Structure 1
Amino acid sequence: MEGTHKIFAPKLTHFFEQRSHGYYYCPKILPTIRYKTTNSKIMSTSTTKYRRSAGYKPSIWNLEFLIDESSKRDRYVHQPDDEYVNIVKRLKCEVKNLMVDEELEPLVIFKIVGEIQRLGLGDYFGKDIESALRRLACKFGDLELDLHATALGFTLLRQSGIFISQDIFKQFMDENENFKPSLCNDKEGMISLYEASYFGFEGEHLLVKAKAFTKEYLLSNNNNHSKQEDKLIVDDDVNHTLGLALRYRMPKLEARLYIETHPKDVETALLQLAMLDFNRAQLMYQQDLHELARWWKDLELSEKLSFARDRLMECLFWGIGTLPKPELSSGRKALTRVFKFITIIDDIYDVYGTIDELELFTNAIERWNINAIDELPDYMKVTFLALYNTVNEIGYEILKQKGFNCIPYLKRSWEDMTKAFLVEAKWLQNSQTPTFEEYLNNGWVSVSGVVALTHIFFFVSPQITPEALHCLRNNHDILRLPSMVFRLSNDLATSEAEIERGETANAISCYAKEKGVTMKDARKHLSNLIDESWKKLNEIQVLNDTPFSVDFVEAAMNLARTAQCAYQHGDGHGSPELIKKKILSLIVDPIHL
């Protein structure tokens, strides 16, 4: 079949031979709801009602697992564990020795740390890197460094949660507080300064100037780049930098790209470890997919709800982007299931359901009681029951792991989201265009970021404290800001299709109508709002003044990054071919070097 890819999950046959199908509940703790459906498509109880269609494309993936094809996997995946351990052990010693060498030039240390981070290997050398960076931070202002070293150091320090003042860049400015034109002779330094500018806080105007200065230079350089062979790689780097700043990129995808495009720039052992690490992580993602595919097949919802987007692979893409660490498999699978139901319910509210039905469904979510389904049409009954079982199953998993009943928090996040969905459905029915403020106040909830992050919180938090729970329930900025980036990125990608479907409420149209500006100006404003949200996220990460764990803060920022990646070139969820290559590189194809 054209455009269909088969996913390989080697050595997993025994898993499916031993695994029983169904839900795992303790009857004394949680009720289990089971249901059976026929193979016929479930329609509304009122078959005469008009149903809209968004014209979504079917899934482009065939989730068959060909076990006998496992030998085609890259040879690095099958290296013995002891060889992998030896490589890690040797590299840890080498990096540790470099990090403690006080005679080593700061730029050398920054370059090594920068490479390690870009390769996705930061967790292997975390303590040694942090120790070295804190030592350099104490004397950073006294070091005589060029633009590249200063900008790279600033980026790495803030990325590691170490505050460095923007004033470090004043040495590169003239008496009029403008950046010196002579800096344009240092392309590497200009790229590094551009990347550093994305780590600014609110009110750091010097970094705003740095971004404008370097962006103008990079755009000009890119438009007039040399065709000489030795300049092609540099120009590719400029293209990549301008496409999406490093701060906004998905770390795992960035690691793969860096491995494949800069192999000569990386020390051989580090490159080998990066390849091993990526391919081993990919095997875990494939195992996750194998289990999720069986779960999705057993639910039989894709046949029953044919109007909804079938996006299992794309939902796993979101799960990996948000929780890329292989050891977070249980959280990643739960998050993928969450995104599957978000997609279905979004299509019910956006496209298929009538207002009367949507009000009934919203009420059923609020009640969170199986008796509520009696009032629902058939297609909503199976949706509610499947969601109810899945969320309770996730809650039971958390109860076993952490000893905490999180279901009231999970349920409340779904309730808030569906209420926001209902507001948007009524705007559509009434052909109403809300104010920009009204739209955003509802839109950052309806985009589903809070639902995703609420579930994530209970998987990645080592301790569940009352302070963290209070902030979680009251939508702390670490939930709101990634959701705002998510919403604005979504609207930048989907507004044209929504307008074609007759929808009147999206950030671009609301802002353009209210301010009397062009759609182009509205899009620029949304991009600026994304940058402003990230400035606040930067401050949260560096100042670390929340009751949340470092892992949860990182997951929240990863959700924002995944949204920007998925919607970078259009609606990657509605038109999955737009992110097909990214999914192939992340989940399907191993690295061959």
Structure 2
Amino acid sequence: MATRLVASSPLCSFIKFQPVKAPSQKYSSNASFPKPVFRCVATSTTEVIERRSGNYQPCIWDIEFLQTVDSDYSKEIYKKRSENLKRQVKTMLVSEVEPLVQLELIDVLQRLCLGYEFETEIKSILQSIYNNNSSSSGKYKSSQDLHAAALEFRLLRQHHYIVPQEIFESFRDENGFKKSIYDDVKGMLSLYEASFFAFEDESIMEEAWEFTSEKLKSLKTEDMDPTLAMLVPHALEIPLHWRLPRFDARWFIEVYEKSRDMNPILLELGKLDFNIVQSMYQEDLRVMSSWWKEIALREKLDFARDRLVPSYLWGVGVSSEPQYAYSRRIIGMDIAIINMIDDIYDIYGTLEEVELFTDAVKKWDINAMKQLPDYMKIAYLAFYNTVNEMIYVILKEHGVDVTDHLTKAWLGLLNGYLTEARWYHTKHKPSLAEYMKNACMSIAGPLIATLAYLTTHKSITEEEMKYLETIPDVMHWTSYVFRISDDYGTSSDELKRGDVPKAIQCYMHDSGVSEEEARLHMRKLVRNGWKKVNKYRFMESQESPLTPTLVEMMQNLTRVSQNLYEHGDGHGIEDGETKDRVLRLLFQPIPM
């Protein structure tokens, strides 16, 4: 753990920060970065405080690059071509009458991240298929082809149709799933993907997951169809239900282009849409980088993470569709602020200082910052202005004052941070249950869900805002999975900085197991958490004021965490896989 000693009074740290700046880089991570060095000059000497350092690498994305990045695909000629292709695809959807072909077409459109363009047609097709196969007795007629039955099950459940697990009974006997399907790789892959839409206590779906996981892992890819040879390991790493279509679209485009079943119209539209939307994301980054440069936190608070681009990835993940530009920007900007605040509470601030910061936010008054140390005043003012700007925009656009609701959502996060800070300073080791009760707030899930609601809904109501404040079950369980996924990827690095025990370590302490066993248990908790999400997303769509769009955004937040943290801290560590993802998603167009 890196530390440093500075002089401070109990209530104010009279420190002038003199950061050692890293060399300016655009997006190269080949350089070897030194550990952060802080030169602190004390103007008063009353008490020595030991401060920790996160030893974070400098940001690899140059602000000037972000402010000037541009794409030809913002031009009108590409938008016109896209509209022409969309008309052709709509004709395909309307004219096709074979159910399996319809379902496969929908599946491809969704994987190309084009589903949002054809919501009406997709809904009409799925409603028709569901009506034709369901009966008043509650029974559901299913295909005798495993791939067709599993694909239908997955797509219908994804779109809020409750299809019973019993449709797979015809593929089972007294010993479980029949041996006759062992050679049906396509069918087993479809069943595997369908199993992730299971609810709790659905024994057939649990058996389907166990069976297909084991069989697919045992297969050799060289013995498969070339397309399946790419799809199977990809699915075993992270299933479709846990992936983000926008993050995954480019990979699938490259697979689909090589497929024997490739439709050139779909392929061209997929590429074109990807490039056009990428140009919109670049506009978001130009706006956000100007804001980030203006508030200058990267220079003033040099102990904190400077992670604007990874923060924006969360905005893309939650609100990927073109019409949600404001939502993406707000979520990305607020997560960049969250990084700063998190590092104050987790690493740099004393317990007394973070208690003062929390109290200042409770008061939500510019004069409240007078009680803060100098470095916190900068953080508080940037935070205060950013939130108030959003409150102003919503008041101007919707005529609704959301100050109380939004500050309450932020306080939920800060109180979670404060609890963890108290654990650290008192050396308290929470049980897993105690940790997770707090962690579902400290992971920022409820706050980001609130931001998503406020920035995407045309009508903002008091009823919906109050309902969000109750932390509905779907919000709780998406935050639960989000927290575990985050800990899975980041806990090792955070413990080296001297942070509080995370979910893995809490379970190890509770149960006396090894880290490897604890990690296996975390994966089990993630699967069980998703089963609860699957259940509550249906209930929310029927019984609550929340829209399906918002519920999907809550799930998207969880999906971002699973994709970024699968192989380590993909948010805090910008090079490696995160750098490649950013380049392919945000900066490099697909060749047409």
C-alpha separation in 2, matches of 1:490 and 1:311: 16
Aligned twin of 1:433: 429
| Pair 302,66 (structure 1): closer, same or farther in 2 beyond 3 Å | closer
C-alpha separation in 1, matches of 2:181 and 2:558: 32
- Equivalent residues in 2 for 1:115-130, closer than 5 Å: 115-130=108-123
- Equivalent residues in 2 for 1:296-375, closer than 5 Å: 296-375=292-371
Which of 231, 240, 245 is 2:234 aligned to? 240
Aligned twin of 1:257: 251
SS in 2 for 1:51: strand
SS in 2 for 1:481: helix
Asked whether the equivalents of residues 416 and 445 of structure 1 are also in contact (C-alpha less than 8 Å), the reply is yes
C-alpha separation in 2, matches of 1:574 and 1:136: 45
| Pair 267,41 (structure 1): closer, same or farther in 2 beyond 3 Å | farther
Aligned twin of 2:53: 53
Q: How many residues align?
A: 548
Supply the AA of the counterpart residue of 2:119: G
Asked whether the equivalents of residues 159 and 542 of structure 1 are also in contact (C-alpha less than 8 Å), the reply is no
C-alpha separation in 2, matches of 1:301 and 1:498: 22
CA offset digits 1:9-68 (Å, max 9, x no partner): xxxxxxxxxxxxxxxxxxxxxxxxxxxxxxx98989778421101111111111324899
Supply the AA of the counterpart residue of 1:253: F
Aligned twin of 1:138: 131
Aligned twin of 2:550: 552
Question: Sequence identity of aligned pairs in percent?
Answer: 38
SS in 2 for 1:576: coil
Deviates more, 1:531-540 or 1:427-436: 531-540
SS in 2 for 1:125: helix
Asked whether the equivalents of residues 54 and 304 of structure 2 are also in contact (C-alpha less than 8 Å), the reply is no
Supply the AA of the counterpart residue of 1:113: I
Deviates more, 1:261-270 or 1:341-350: 261-270
| Pair 297,137 (structure 1): closer, same or farther in 2 beyond 3 Å | same
CA offset digits 1:418-453 (Å, max 9, x no partner): 111111112112222111111000111111111111
SS in 1 for 2:63: strand
Which of 523, 529, 541 is 1:527 aligned to? 523
Asked whether the equivalents of residues 447 and 483 of structure 1 are also in contact (C-alpha less than 8 Å), the reply is yes
C-alpha separation in 1, matches of 2:515 and 2:435: 16
C-alpha separation in 2, matches of 1:43 and 1:449: 38
- 1:490 is the counterpart of 2:486: yes
Aligned twin of 2:196: 198
What are structure 1's unaligned runs of at least 5 residues? 7-39
C-alpha separation in 2, matches of 1:461 and 1:391: 18
C-alpha separation in 2, matches of 1:66 and 1:394: 23
C-alpha separation in 2, matches of 1:512 and 1:394: 42
SS in 1 for 2:177: coil
What are structure 2's unaligned runs of at least 5 residues? 1-22, 29-38, 134-139
C-alpha separation in 2, matches of 1:325 and 1:299: 28
Deviates more, 1:499-508 or 1:211-220: 499-508
- Equivalent residues in 2 for 1:152-191, closer than 5 Å: 152-176=151-175, 178-191=176-189
Supply the AA of the counterpart residue of 1:487: R
Aligned twin of 2:26: 4
| Pair 77,205 (structure 1): closer, same or farther in 2 beyond 3 Å | farther
Q: TM-score, normalised by structure 1?
A: 0.88
Deviates more, 1:248-257 or 1:375-384: 248-257
Supply the AA of the counterpart residue of 2:587: V
- 1:575 is the counterpart of 2:581: no
Q: How far off is 1:80 after superposition?
A: 4.3
Which of 365, 378, 390 is 2:386 aligned to? 390
Asked whether the equivalents of residues 302 and 310 of structure 1 are also in contact (C-alpha less than 8 Å), the reply is yes
C-alpha separation in 1, matches of 2:325 and 2:402: 19
Q: How far off is 1:125 after superposition?
A: 1.7
C-alpha separation in 2, matches of 1:81 and 1:107: 31
Q: TM-score, normalised by structure 2?
A: 0.88
| Pair 251,425 (structure 1): closer, same or farther in 2 beyond 3 Å | same
SS in 1 for 2:187: helix
SS in 1 for 2:53: coil
Supply the AA of the counterpart residue of 1:585: R
SS in 2 for 1:505: coil
Asked whether the equivalents of residues 431 and 503 of structure 1 are also in contact (C-alpha less than 8 Å), the reply is no
Aligned twin of 1:90: 88
SS in 2 for 1:199: coil
Supply the AA of the counterpart residue of 1:116: L
